Amino acid sequence: MRVVKPDRMQLHRMEFFGKHGVFTEERALGQLWIVDLDLQIDLQKAGQSDKLEDSINYAELFYSVKSIVEEQSYQLVEALAERIAETLLDGYPAIHEAHVRVTKPHPPFDIHFQGVTIDITRAREESRQLEAADE
């Protein structure tokens, strides 16, 4: 069977308590953070074998992100998202591309909105080279 487009593993609305932000109070008190992942992974072998070792355990992905959000501290949401993408690409060779969305639902401003989201996509260097060669 032919693969029509890249396979994806998505983890939606993972919630963590982290101490990130520009303001000292944010880093001291902490707050809720929401992370979404959309990962490009070849899942054909796992789909055919029905074996976890042919895939990536999404519980491991969850705990990798949890350790970053809850055990590290960054001033910028951008830096937090970048660290998550970097860790996943470095730690899981099967991931070709990581699309990371980090939402800070309650920024400490006297304005009313549903939060701020940083949305980044990072790929392995060799994936970028292959895309450039295809153009």
**End-to-end Cα, the chain, rounded Å:** 26
- Pair of tokens at residue 80: 């937090």
Choosing from 45, 51, 66, 104, the catalytic residue is 104
Phi, psi of 60, deg, nearest 5: -65, -40
Phi, psi of 73, deg, nearest 5: -140, 130
104 is catalytic: yes
Catalytically active residues are: 104
